[in-house]
């Protein structure tokens, strides 16, 4: 396994209160595989990604029984070794291409700096490499782009630059935190294709964070559905999308606007009433309890067991919906 995560917990400080953002997450990722972590905003998926990179905001506490990349325990790595690993073997792409590039340095400065940091080559070699990678992510006029500043590029171009930056050193794993959310639909599709191509060409492991099931359907090998700091359902793309077992997953899928409804509207998960609850204290019970339409009395007492469904996914629910019910929904 390229990445192994066991019992990952992240606690944030929110105005003097402890906010449990991630409450015991297990993840595995193999080389050449794409795992999508899907969930509403505030479910802890971004914090999970930042925790893997050891980039949590100040004041956040992280604990895990295992947080291993290629057998290296990331949480025990020194600042220096971590810095040498990031960008070299693990890279990350963020949601906001508009603000993710340094406004006062040229694209070239920023790309060369990454490559030279990890390889120690000359500026000219870094320049050649940067142009090569920029072209590989579909950027035209790469040499001109190198001389430009971020504000001179559109959001889609900036995201390509960030992807190029992440790919500069041929990392073994790439973490993408909603890299297409801030972009328009056409650009989204292009960026997804570029990422998918880069991933399969380089046999990278890709951890893709998104709230968009359309994205999941296009790129995922496996899907982990996250809710209120926990993974509630996890399985292959086909299993999870075609036969969702958890009421939450079902609600998620139901809320995607279908083309025949003429719905171009938001792909937010509006069809499930309520918001993701915030947890300030330990609570082993089902996180979806407060919004679940199928709630039973046992749910308010006991933690849901993790079960294997017929379709092969794992689900944490007292009453997993069977595939038949899911299809008719």
Residues in the chain: 329
Does residue 315 belong to the site contacting other proteins (CB under 8 A)? no
Q: In sequence order, what are the residues at sequence separation of 6 or more whose Cβ sits closer than 8 angstroms to the Cβ of residue 82?
A: 54, 74
Distance CA 62, CA 76 (A): 11
Rounded CA separation 326/233 (Å) = 14
Helix pair angle (123-136, 107-119), 10° resolution: 110
**Residue 261 carries which DSSP code?**
G
Which of 46, 91, 210, 314 is the binder for other proteins (CB under 8 A)?
A: 91
Is residue 94 near other proteins by the rule CB under 8 A? yes
Distance CA 201, CA 177 (A): 21
165 binds other proteins (CB under 8 A): yes
Does the footprint of other proteins cover residue 75 (CB under 8 A)?
A: no
Question: What are 324's two structure tokens?
Answer: 């038949």
Q: Which is nearer to other proteins, 100 or 315 (CB)?
A: 100
Selected range binding other proteins among 40-48, 114-122, 200-208, 306-314, rule: CB under 8 A: 114-122
Counting Cα atoms < 13 Å in the Cβ hemisphere of 146 gives 20
* Cβ at position 112, least distance to other proteins in Å: 11
Residues linked to residue 226 through DSSP beta bridges, in sequence order: 231
Q: Which stretch binds other proteins (CB under 8 A): 1-9, 22-30, 100-108, 260-268?
A: 100-108
Any contact of residue 101 with other proteins (CB under 8 A)? yes
Judged by CB under 8 A, the chain residues 9 through 68 that form the site for other proteins are 53, 55, 57
Closest Cα partner for 24 from 38, 7, 11?
A: 7
Interface pattern 208-247 for other proteins (x via CB under 8 A):
----------------------------------------
Q: Work out how close the CB of 3 gets to other proteins at its nearest, in angstroms, rounded to a whole number.
A: 16
The nearest distance, CB 87 to other proteins, in angstroms, is 3
Tokens describing residue 201: 């060409």
Helix (H, G, I), strand (E, B) or coil at 208: strand
C-beta separation of 269 from 252 below 8 A: yes
The residue assigned the tokens 């604990």 is 63
Using CB under 8 A as the binding rule, whether residue 77 contacts other proteins is answered as no
Q: Is 301 in the site for other proteins (CB under 8 A)?
A: no
Interaction pattern, residues 265-284, with other proteins; x per rule: CB under 8 A: --------xx--xxxx--x-
Is 308 a residue that touches other proteins (CB under 8 A)? no
Residue ranges that bind other proteins, judged by CB under 8 A: 53, 55, 57, 79, 83-88, 91-92, 94, 96, 99-105, 113-114, 117-118, 149, 151-152, 162, 165-166, 168, 273-274, 277-280, 283, 289-293, 295
């Amino acid at each position: 396994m390229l990445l192994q995560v066991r019992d990952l917990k992240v606690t944030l400080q929110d105005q003097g209160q402890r906010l449990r953002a991630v409450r015991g997450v297990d993840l595995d990722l193999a080389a050449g595989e794409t795992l999508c972590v899907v969930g509403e905003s505030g479910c802890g998926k971004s914090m999970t990604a930042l925790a893997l990179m050891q980039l949590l905001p100040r004041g956040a506490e992280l604990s895990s029984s295992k947080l291993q990349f290629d057998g290296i325990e990331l949480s025990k790595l020194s600042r220096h070794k971590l810095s040498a690993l990031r960008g070299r073997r693990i890279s990350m792409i963020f949601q906001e291409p508009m603000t993710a590039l340094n406004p006062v340095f040229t694209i070239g400065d920023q790309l060369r700096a990454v490559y030279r940091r990890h390889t120690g080559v000359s500026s000219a070699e870094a320049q050649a490499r940067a142009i090569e990678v920029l072209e590989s992510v579909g950027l035209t006029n790469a040499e001109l782009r190198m001389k430009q500043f971020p504000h001179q590029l559109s959001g889609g171009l900036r995201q390509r630059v960030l992807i190029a930056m992440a790919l500069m050193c041929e990392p073994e794993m790439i973490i993408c935190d909603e890299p297409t959310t801030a972009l328009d639909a056409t650009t989204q599709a292009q960026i997804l294709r570029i990422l998918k191509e880069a991933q399969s060409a380089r046999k990278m492991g890709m951890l893709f964070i998104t709230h968009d099931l359309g994205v999941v359907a296009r790129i995922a090998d496996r899907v982990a559905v996250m809710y209120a700091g926990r993974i509630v359902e996890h399985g292959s793309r086909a299993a999870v999308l075609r036969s969702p077992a958890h009421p939450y997953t079902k609600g998620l899928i139901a809320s995607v606007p279908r083309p025949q409804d003429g719905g171009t509207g938001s792909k937010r998960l509006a069809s499930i009433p309520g918001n993701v609850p915030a947890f300030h204290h330990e609570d082993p019970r089902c996180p979806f309890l407060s919004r679940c339409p199928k709630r039973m009395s046992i749910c308010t007492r006991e933690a849901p067991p993790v079960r294997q469904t017929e379709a092969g996914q794992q689900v944490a629910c007292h009453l997993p919906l069977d595939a038949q019910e899911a299809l008719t929904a």
